[in-house]
């Protein structure tokens, strides 16, 4: 979707960005805020009436009068679900607004280090990324109880349904307000911090890696694949068994086991996505940023969405079993919980199948930079041979340095391109210049390599740079044989 021109403010700064995604997100946010206020008002009135109603007939009549409340709450539920992917599309649309930003992660760090209103932007993004899945789960939970309650004669679960609607409405209002605030704050971060997701996701010690890099290196990938398929396979079998038990009775204690297994599968799938799936699906074998899946492998997000739906289905089944208990609902609970568990079986299996197909289809790495996937321009190409004898190509010296810094073993050889002749030469024999010419906008690399000192000095004079020496030279501590 092509966006409208951004509205910019300040010298070299980005003001309030208005593109088509921002306008759509703002409209949805305003509508959600209005609906949330209406739902909250009606829910409070209904909850007070529910407490005053003593007789079952009065409570049933009250539930019948709540059609407008549940209609608005249902519409809010749909908009809450829509706002989740729309928010990431909004962030992706902002990537092009800053030269140093490579993906959604970079956008999420805009404002870091600012002393103005922009300093709240990273916190808002983090809060929104946390609130949206919780909101979808809460909305689904009240809807499941509502459907169960509608099948009874005296509506005994109305109070619990209204309580969940109230909680979902409060969270929806807070989420919509945070999203509108994020849109309204000028993005005037001139000292961009963390624009590149490479240090955040590829550094072995980074918390974004979920596990230490040495635990999930290339040698451990087969075990990670085995854990992924084993946990998800067990999850499918356990859900199928739970659904079968629901034909006879409600398997109360077993639901706690299913919930624990579902939480374990979330952890395993998160590690697998960051460590194994993201590098292959994005065709960046040494890059572990899941945000890159949005522009580079959007079809893989269907698998992620199905997995989340399966996890939610398990949670909703437990919610129905644990909050839906009443005399009238007791005969209905096994069928309701069983249907949710069967839904979990279908979506878990679909997620596993789609992920397997995507991984197989993208089993070959791309031709771009081995670190960030950018196109490699011949004058700036760098080739590095690792400890196993495999050669990896990079778009600039900076990407090669970052990648080498992540390796547990020293590399065997480094070759850079002489910008004058276009020939590959040994990195230790090259002369390097730091000048005003940027070779790769995403990394901001300004270092150039030359075979001959005269060529390096000529470039330094012409481009207002200087010839590097000693520890200033790239790969000074990483070259083969360096101490």
Q: What is the model's pLDDT at position 216?
A: 58
Q: What is the model's pLDDT at position 399?
A: 87
Percent of the chain with pLDDT over 70: 84
Contact status, residue 342 vs residue 243, Cβ threshold 8 Å: yes
Task: For 347-387, write each residue's pLDDT tens digit.
Answer: 999 999 999 999 888 765 456 787 777 778 889 999 999 88
Where residue 11 falls among pLDDT bands split at 50, 70, 90?
very low
Q: How far is CA 449 from CA 84, 235, 476, in A?
A: 45, 53, 14
Determine which of 19-23, 202-206, 296-300 has the lowest per-residue pLDDT on average: 202-206
Q: How far apart are CA 118 and CA 107, in angstroms?
A: 12
Q: What is the model's pLDDT at position 103?
A: 80
Task: For 152-196, write each residue's pLDDT tens digit.
Answer: 888 889 889 999 999 999 999 999 999 999 999 987 654 444 445
Higher pLDDT among residues 284 and 270, named by residue = 270
Where residue 8 falls among pLDDT bands split at 50, 70, 90?
very low
Other C-beta atoms closer than 10 Å to the C-beta of 191 total: 7
Q: What is the mean pLDDT of residues 298-318?
A: 95
Q: What is the model's pLDDT at position 3?
A: 37
Q: What is the model's pLDDT at position 380?
A: 93
* Size of the chain, expressed as the number of residues it contains: 483
Nearest alpha-carbon partner for 418 in 454, 448, 463, 383: 448
Q: Is the pLDDT of residue 480 over 70?
A: no
Chain mean pLDDT for the chain: 85
Q: How far apart are CA 451 and CA 417, in angstroms?
A: 8
Q: Is the pLDDT of residue 1 over 50?
A: no
Q: What is the model's pLDDT at position 210?
A: 56
Higher pLDDT among residues 114 and 310, named by residue = 310
Q: How far apart are CA 425 and CA 300, in angstroms?
A: 40
Q: Which two tokens stand for residue 447?
A: 């270092």
Contact status, residue 116 vs residue 15, Cβ threshold 8 Å: no
Task: For 51-97, write each residue's pLDDT tens digit.
Answer: 776 666 666 666 667 888 999 999 999 999 999 999 999 999 988 78
Q: Which residue reads 């374990």 in tokens?
A: 264
Q: What is the model's pLDDT at position 10?
A: 36
The CA R_g of the chain, rounded to the nearest whole Å, is 27
Contact status, residue 170 vs residue 19, Cβ threshold 8 Å: no
Q: What is the model's pLDDT at position 192?
A: 45
Task: For 311-349, write each residue's pLDDT tens digit.
Answer: 999 999 999 999 998 889 999 999 999 999 999 999 999
């Amino acid at each position: 979707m092509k966006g409208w021109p951004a509205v910019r403010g300040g010298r070299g700064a980005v003001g309030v960005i208005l593109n088509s995604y921002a306008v759509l997100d703002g409209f949805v946010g305003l509508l959600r805020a209005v609906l949330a206020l209406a739902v909250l008002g009606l829910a409070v009135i209904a909850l007070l009436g529910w407490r005053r109603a003593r007789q079952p007939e009065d409570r049933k009549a009250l539930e019948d009068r709540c059609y407008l409340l549940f209609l608005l709450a249902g519409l809010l539920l749909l908009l809450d679900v829509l706002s989740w992917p729309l928010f990431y599309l909004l962030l992706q649309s902002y990537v092009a607004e800053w030269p140093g930003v490579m993906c959604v992660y970079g956008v999420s760090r805009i404002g870091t280090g600012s002393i103005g209103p922009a300093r709240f932007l990273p916190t808002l993004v983090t809060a929104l990324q946390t609130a949206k899945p919780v909101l979808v789960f809460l909305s689904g939970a009240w809807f499941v109880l509502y459907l169960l309650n509608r099948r009874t004669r005296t509506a005994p679960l109305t109070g619990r349904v209204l309580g969940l609607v109230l909680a979902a409405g409060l969270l929806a209002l807070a989420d919509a307000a945070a999203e509108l605030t994020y849109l309204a704050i000028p993005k005037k971060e001139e000292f961009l911090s963390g624009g590149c997701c490479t240090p955040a996701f590829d550094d072995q010690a980074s918390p974004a890696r979920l596990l230490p890099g040495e635990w999930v290196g290339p040698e451990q990938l087969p075990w990670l694949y085995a854990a992924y398929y084993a946990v998800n396979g067990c999850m499918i079998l356990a859900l199928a068994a739970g659904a079968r038990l629901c034909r006879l009775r409600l398997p109360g204690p077993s639901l706690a086991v299913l919930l624990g297994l579902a939480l374990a599968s979330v952890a395993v799938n998160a590690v697998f996505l960051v460590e194994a799936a993201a590098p292959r699906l994005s065709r960046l074998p040494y890059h572990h940023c899941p945000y890159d899946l949005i522009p580079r492998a959007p079809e893989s997000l269907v698998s992620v969405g199905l997995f989340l739906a399966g996890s939610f289905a398990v949670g909703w089944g437990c919610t129905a079993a644990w909050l839906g208990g009443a005399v009238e609902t007791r005969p209905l609970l096994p069928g309701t919980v069983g249907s949710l568990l069967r839904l979990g079986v279908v979506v878990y299996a679909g997620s596993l199948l789609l992920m397997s197909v995507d991984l197989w289809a993208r089993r070959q790495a791309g031709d771009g930079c081995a670190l960030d996937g950018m196109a490699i321009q011949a004058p700036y190409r760098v080739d590095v041979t690792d400890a196993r004898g495999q050669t990896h190509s990079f778009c600039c010296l900076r990407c090669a340095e970052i990648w080498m810094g992540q390796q547990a073993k020293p590399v065997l050889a480094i070759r850079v391109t002489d910008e004058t002749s276009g020939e590959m030469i040994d990195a230790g024999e090259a002369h390097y210049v730091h000048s005003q010419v940027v070779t790769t906008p995403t990394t901001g690399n300004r270092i150039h390599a030359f075979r001959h000192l005269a060529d390096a000095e000529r470039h330094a004079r012409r481009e207002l740079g200087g010839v590097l020496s000693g520890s200033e030279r790239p790969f000074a501590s990483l070259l083969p044989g360096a101490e």
